[in-house]
């Protein structure tokens, strides 16, 4: 099975061939490296930029104005913070021009902890990004969803922020990418750049086909009846592990992978919460003005009389960074045991 980096790469290759992608660019995105996570190896339109994040976002904006279809990468979301005003400009170009200009561009950036990235390679970006209207914001948790969400992003005529959960970029899924060969070694030989000299290397892309995960549609990963867990990115997998454990205790967890953070699928949340009457929102961003707080507030306002227990938020601790030592990282972002505990408490607190 393809890993998530390979899936993103294949989606971009599909985009180059079928969806008019003109530029895939950023720091170390082009040859020889093809991205620090290899997600852009071998792409026909990939190129390296100066180490200038503001320049990268500005370039994407300009390419889109001139009719191109750019995919820009910020190497780690930790380095996107100095581009916030440009992200605002991208987000308000359509609104501010009274609909005259739209910017069909994609920005992708790895987010979150999980690779011992220390203070400046572990930040989350969901809360800030969802605070910038005019963007669609997605985050996959499996290679197949990464493929389908990227293709959806490339088809979209609006700016889309594609957040890559960096801890999952090397992980494989259990569904094959459409067109992916059965033998993963064959895939590797076809699309992974060799070590050493890559001067004459070219990828041989599989016969990839269209597969779109609609932006704005959540996925019910696991059906349950006692408590709903709404999450995205790598915490989908941890929540699933926690739900497996709780199932042995007789607690049935309904797990929602939001997949799109904006425009998010509140209908899916409502439907589930009306069934379970209990909900936990889970993510690893810092706690204060967390995106999950918004979902929690809206749930409280719209479903208050249908709840049997206080809705909860389990998030990262509200500290300036994620420390390098494993004990510090584990204490900073929700762990499986933390998720189990909060789901158990929420599922069992008396109505």
Partner 1 sequence: MQKSTLRPRLEPALQVRIHDLMVKTRCVEERMIKMNRDGEGFFWIGAPGEEAFGVPLGLQVKKGQGPDFDYLHLHYRSSPIIMAMGGTMLDSLRQMGMRATDRYSAGRNFTNHYAIPEWNVAPMAPTIETQYLIAPGTGWVQRRHGGDGITIVNGGDAGTAEGDFASCLIWSTRPGKELPMLIIVVNNKFGISTSHATQHGVRNIADRGIPHGMQTKVINGNDVFESWAAIDEAMRYVRTERRPYLLEAHVSRLNGHSSSSGANRVDEIDCILEFEKQLLADKVRTDAEIKATWERWRDEANACVKQLRTEPFPEASDIWKWTFHDDADNTLAKAGGD
Which residues lie near partner 1 (CB under 8 A)? 22-23, 50, 52, 54-55, 57-68, 70, 85-86, 89, 93-102, 104, 133-134, 136, 157-158, 216, 262-264, 266, 294, 298
Residue 121: active-site member: yes
Residue whose CB is less far from partner 1, 89 or 115? 89
Per-residue tokens: 108: 């992708």
The upper half-sphere exposure of residue 248, i.e. CA atoms within 13 Å in the direction of its Cβ, equals 6
Within 10 A of 270 (CB to CB), how many other CB atoms are there? 15
CB of 124 to partner 1, least distance (A): 19
CB of 8 to partner 1, least distance (A): 23
With beta carbons less than 8 A apart as the criterion, state whether 144 and 177 touch: yes
Catalytic residue among 121, 123, 235, 237: 121
CB of 86 to partner 1, least distance (A): 6
> Which parts of the chain fold into alpha helices (H)?
4-18, 53-65, 84-96, 126-129, 143-155, 184-191, 235-247, 266-276, 291-303, 326-332, 336-348
Residue whose CB is less far from partner 1, 49 or 332? 49
CA 157 from centre of chain: 19
Residue whose CB is less far from partner 1, 1 or 57? 57
Per the rule left: phi > 0, alpha: psi between -120 and 50, beta: everything else, 158 is beta
The upper half-sphere exposure of residue 309, i.e. CA atoms within 13 Å in the direction of its Cβ, equals 22
Residue whose CB is less far from partner 1, 99 or 250? 99
CB of 89 to partner 1, least distance (A): 5
Residue whose CB is less far from partner 1, 51 or 324? 51
CB of 62 to partner 1, least distance (A): 2
Residue whose CB is less far from partner 1, 48 or 225? 48
With beta carbons less than 8 A apart as the criterion, state whether 221 and 322 touch: no
For residue 180, the surrounding DSSP H or E stretch is: none
What's the length of the chain? 351
CB of 60 to partner 1, least distance (A): 7
With beta carbons less than 8 A apart as the criterion, state whether 190 and 204 touch: yes
- 211 φ, ψ to 5°? -150, 115
Catalytic residues: 121
């Amino acid at each position: 099975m393809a890993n998530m980096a390979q899936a993103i790469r294949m989606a971009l290759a599909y985009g180059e061939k079928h969806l008019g992608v003109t530029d895939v660019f950023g720091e170390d995105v082009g040859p020889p490296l093809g991205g620090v996570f290899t997600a852009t190896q071998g792409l026909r339109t990939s190129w390296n930029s100066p180490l200038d994040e503001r320049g990268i976002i500005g370039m994407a904006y300009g390419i889109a104005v001139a009719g191109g279809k750019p995919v820009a990468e910020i190497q780690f979301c930790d380095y996107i913070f100095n581009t916030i005003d440009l992200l605002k400009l991208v987000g308000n170009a359509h609104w501010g021009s009274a609909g005259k200009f739209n910017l069909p561009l994609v920005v992708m950036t790895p987010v979150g902890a999980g690779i011992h990235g220390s203070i400046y390679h572990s930040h989350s970006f969901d809360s800030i990004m969802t605070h910038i209207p005019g963007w669609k914001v997605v985050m996959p948790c499996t290679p197949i969803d990464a493929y389908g969400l990227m293709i959806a992003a490339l088809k979209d005529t609006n700016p889309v922020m594609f957040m890559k959960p960096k801890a999952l970029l090397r992980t494989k899924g259990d569904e094959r990418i459409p067109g992916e060969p059965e033998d993963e070694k064959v895939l590797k030989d076809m699309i992974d750049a060799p070590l050493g000299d890559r001067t004459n290397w070219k990828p041989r892309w599989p016969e990839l086909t269209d597969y779109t995960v609609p932006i704005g549609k959540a996925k019910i990963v696991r059906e349950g009846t006692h408590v709903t867990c709404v999450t995205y990115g790598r915490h989908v997998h941890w929540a699933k592990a926690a739900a497996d454990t709780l199932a042995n205790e007789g607690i049935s967890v309904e797990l929602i992978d939001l997949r799109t953070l904006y425009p998010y699928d509140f209908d899916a949340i409502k439907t589930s919460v009306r069934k379970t009457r209990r909900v936990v929102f889970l993510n690893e961003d810092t706690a204060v003005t967390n995106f999950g707080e918004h979902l929690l507030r809206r749930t409280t306002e719209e479903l208050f009389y249908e709840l049997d227990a206080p809705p909860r938020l389990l998030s990262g601790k509200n500290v300036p960074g994620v420390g390098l030592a494993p004990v510090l990282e584990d204490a900073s972002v929700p762990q499986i045991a933390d998720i189990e505990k909060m789901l158990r408490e929420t599922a069992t607190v008396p109505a």
